[in-house]
Structure 1
Amino acid sequence: MRASKVLVTVSLIMLAIGFLVVTLLWDDHYLLLSFGLITVSMLFFLFRFEKRKIEPRELVLLAVLASIAAVGRIPFASIPSVQPTTFVIMLSGFVFGAESGLVIGSVAALASNMILGQGPWTPWQMLAWGLVGLTAGLLRKTKLMKSVWGKVLFGIIWGFLFGWITNIWGLLSLSQSGTPLNAETVWLYFAASALFDSMHSVSNVFFLLLFGNIWIKTLTRFKKKYGLLE
């Protein structure tokens, strides 16, 4: 049984990577590919709950949290990389688990870009925010994530990792347009994004220190009271 779970998990990861590769080949079909990534994240979520039926209210909860994370980008759209989206996705994964965090992160990226602008970068943002929720869920029982400063460190790291993941798309797109992809190009591209990545990290720290405890208490209360996503 364990071997079959590993096989399914690896298969879903490879399928997600395949969608990302295809975005470079058929960048005009990025929206269709984005929905493909949503399907992969939902399959991963359903695979976790294969032994019991998913209740509609649990899906509603995921949709509500993804909506909050998506809408959170809009008021801060004029400030590059500053938004509470990563904060919401991170704590959702921390409370409700890795698979839930993956779904919330990927859906939030797609939904928010419906307002802020879709493009071939959307699937890469979906991957990055999905991984924020996934890793927060995977690490939630560790000593690191049980402490406030551990969560802060997690937020700082993901402020940079998010930018680096989306930078991969930018670099691959440049290479397809004829720009030589060498060490100098990579260094300059990442250096140019350093300020934005730093602002992302700082905003994560701000929201975690100011609202982290109340969010965790509220989400945990909902989880225990209604038996959601156990």
Structure 2
Amino acid sequence: MKTQKLTLLAMLAALATVGRILFSSLFYLPNVQPVSTLVIICGIWLGPVEGVILAVLSTILSNLVLGMGIWTLPQILCWGIIGLISGLIGKYRKSIPIWVLALFSAFAGYGYGLVMSLTYGTIGNHFWAYYLSGLMYDTYHAVGNIIFMVTLYPVLSKLFVRFLEKDNLTSFKSLKEVNHF
């Protein structure tokens, strides 16, 4: 992995970490954080491995401030799965409309909640109670993901295009033909 790509991943991890801390500590918005969206965008543009790396880094770094616990590994698992899936989507699709990405990010919010409920449900044997009581928070996560995707994707995509063209790190024949907007 090139130094430029490592630097980009470090900056994205810092952005995800600060965003998660800011929205959970300062604004007190439950489950509204840019981590899922940034992992999706990173996976789509850089690949599945980089999406998983960003998921691991941002989870560990933000949990150093917000608190580590039994939820840390399931969070890494959830965001890692999101990064892996979005990386595979980005690897095989050249043009993805923003509304499809917004819909995918909403489903990722609900999927995150489902996997977290499954892990907690196996610990306490109360899956349905945990899952149903968390649906409102999953909805906050999904709506937050949509807002972050619509806001961040156009800006970050331009930066990714410049980065990938400059360093010739893309598998696309021409980034000019990639129309994500």
Q: TM-score, normalised by structure 1?
A: 0.68
Greater relative contact order (Cα < 8 A, sep 6+): 2
1:79 pairs, out of 29, 39, 48, with 29
Structure 1 pair 86/137, CA: closer, same or farther in 2 (3 Å)?
Answer: same
1:203 pairs, out of 144, 148, 155, with 144
Q: Distance in 2 between matches of 1:216 and 1:109?
A: 23
Superposed displacement of residue 211, structure 1: 2.5
Match of 1:63 in 2: 10
The 3-state SS of whatever aligns with 1:92 is: helix
Deviations 1:124-152 (A, max 9, x none): 10111111111111012337x61111101
Q: Distance in 2 between matches of 1:128 and 1:220?
A: 27
Q: Distance in 1 between matches of 2:82 and 2:170?
A: 18
The 3-state SS of whatever aligns with 2:30 is: coil
Following superposition of structure 1 onto structure 2, how do residues 100-119 of structure 1 map, counting pairs within 5 Å?
Answer: 100-119=50-69
The 3-state SS of whatever aligns with 1:82 is: coil
Deviations 1:20-52 (A, max 9, x none): xxxxxxxxxxxxxxxxxxxxxxxxxxxxxxxxx
Match of 2:174 in 1: none
Q: Distance in 2 between matches of 1:211 and 1:67?
A: 15
Match of 1:132 in 2: 82
Match of 1:225 in 2: 166
1:142 pairs, out of 93, 117, 128, with 93
Superposed displacement of residue 157, structure 1: 0.5
Q: Distance in 2 between matches of 1:128 and 1:211?
A: 21
The 3-state SS of whatever aligns with 1:72 is: helix
The question of whether the paired residues in 1 share the 8 Å contact of 2:118 and 2:127 is answered with no
- Larger CA Rg, structure 1 vs 2: 1
AA of the residue aligned to 1:142? R
Percent identity of equivalent pairs: 31
Q: Distance in 2 between matches of 1:229 and 1:104?
A: 18
AA of the residue aligned to 1:153? L
Q: Distance in 2 between matches of 1:59 and 1:218?
A: 15
1:170 aligns with 2:120: yes
The question of whether the paired residues in 2 share the 8 Å contact of 1:132 and 1:158 is answered with yes
The question of whether the paired residues in 1 share the 8 Å contact of 2:117 and 2:127 is answered with no
Superposed displacement of residue 169, structure 1: 2.1
RMSD over aligned Cα atoms: 1.7
Superposed displacement of residue 229, structure 1: 6.8
Q: Distance in 2 between matches of 1:162 and 1:170?
A: 12
Q: Distance in 2 between matches of 1:211 and 1:110?
A: 22
Superposed displacement of residue 228, structure 1: 4.2
Following superposition of structure 1 onto structure 2, how do residues 148-187 of structure 1 map, counting pairs within 5 Å?
Answer: 148-174=98-124, 181=125, 185-187=126-128
The question of whether the paired residues in 2 share the 8 Å contact of 1:58 and 1:229 is answered with no
Superposed displacement of residue 219, structure 1: 1.6
AA of the residue aligned to 1:169? T
1:191 aligns with 2:132: yes
Q: Distance in 2 between matches of 1:226 and 1:113?
A: 32
Structure 2: which 5+ residue stretches go unaligned? 172-181
Q: How many residues align?
A: 167
